[in-house]
Structure 1
Amino acid sequence: MKNAAFSIFILSLGLLPAACTWVEPTVSGNAVRVAYDGKVAGCRDAGTVAVTVADKIAFYHRSEYKVADELETMARNEAASLPADTIVPRSEPKDGAQRFQAYVCGKTQLRQRGEISTPASQPPTTQDGVQTFPVKEH
C-alpha cells in the first residue's frame, strides 16, 4: 500500500510542471495586439523584442503550445514597456526562444527606455501650471 501511494505521489510530481504557467500578462501587456498577418502598414517601428522561457525541466519537455503562449505573453508585456501597441512574430519558437518586432500603430507615443512619457491626450504642463494646446488652422 505504501509503494502504491509513493508511486502516485511521484507521478503527480511529474505532471505538475505540465499544468504550470509561469508567465502572467500585465495590464499594459493585455493591450498589445499580435498581428499574425504581419499587416502593420502605417505603423512606426518601436524595436525588437527577444524573449525566452523554459521549454524543458530536467527530462520533461513542456508542451510546445504552452511555451509558445508564454513567449507571446512575455513579448506583449515587454512591448508595452517600450511602449508599443502591436507585435509581429519574426521567428518560430525554438528551444524556448522567439523574436518579435514591436510597432506603434495607435496613439501610443514612442519614448526612450526610462523616459517618462506624457499621454497623447494630455498636453504638457509648464511649471506655472499652464497647459498649451496646438492650434489647428482650417
Structure 2
Amino acid sequence: MKAKFIVLLSFVGAVLFGMGCTWVKPVEGVESIALVKAAVVQDCEKLVTSTVLVTHKVGFINRNPSKVANELLTLARNEAVALDADTIVAEGPAMEGKQRFGLYQCR
C-alpha cells in the first residue's frame, strides 16, 4: 500500500511540475514581430493564416491559461519569423490550446 502511495505521489508531483514548465521556446527574431489588432493591418500584405496548437491539459488537469496563451503567441511569432512576416493578428480566442493568427508583411 505504501509503495502505491509513493508512486501516486510521484505522478502527481511530475504532473504539477510539468504544468509549470514552458514547452515552447522562441526562435531568434521573435522580438521584432508585432502583435496588433486587425484594423492596423488594413494596408499590409497577408501572407497566411496559421493555426497554432499547444498542450492545454496534462492528463486530466488543465494547464495555466496564461502559460498556454503565451505559448500560442510564441508559436505564432516563431511561424512569422519562418515566413518572413513582421506582424501577427489573433483571428479569434484561444480554445483548448489552439488559436488562429494572420501573418502579415507590413514594413
TM-score normalised by L of structure 1? 0.66
Q: Which amino acid aligns with 1:51?
A: V
Partner residue, 1:17: 18
For the Cα contact (< 8 Å) 2:19–2:58, is it kept in 1? Answer: no
Q: Distance in 1 between matches of 2:11 and 2:76?
A: 34
Please give the root-mean-square deviation of Cα atoms over the aligned residues, in Å: 2.0
CA shift in 2, pair 1:82/1:10, >3 Å: closer
Identify, as 1 or 2, the structure richer in helix: 2
For the Cα contact (< 8 Å) 1:84–1:104, is it kept in 2? Answer: yes
Q: Which amino acid aligns with 2:85?
A: A
Unaligned runs of 5+ in 2: none
Q: Distance in 1 between matches of 2:104 and 2:13?
A: 43
Q: Distance in 2 between matches of 1:95 and 1:10?
A: 23
Q: Distance in 1 between matches of 2:12 and 2:89?
A: 39
Q: Which amino acid aligns with 2:65?
A: E
Runs of 4+ in 1 over 6 A off after TM superposition: none
Alpha-carbon offset, residue 19 of structure 1: 1.3
- Secondary structure of 1:73 counterpart: helix
Alpha-carbon offset, residue 68 of structure 1: 0.7
Is the radius of gyration larger for structure 1 or structure 2?
A: 1
TM-score normalised by L of structure 2? 0.84
Deviations 1:38-83 (Å, cap 9, x if unpaired)? 2123211111111000100111110111111100000000011111
Q: Which amino acid aligns with 2:92?
A: S
Moved more, 6-15 or 86-95: 6-15
After TM superposition, the structure 1 = structure 2 runs for residues 122-133 of structure 1, keeping only pairs within 5 Å, are none
Identify, as 1 or 2, the structure richer in strand: 2
Unaligned runs of 5+ in 1: 107-138
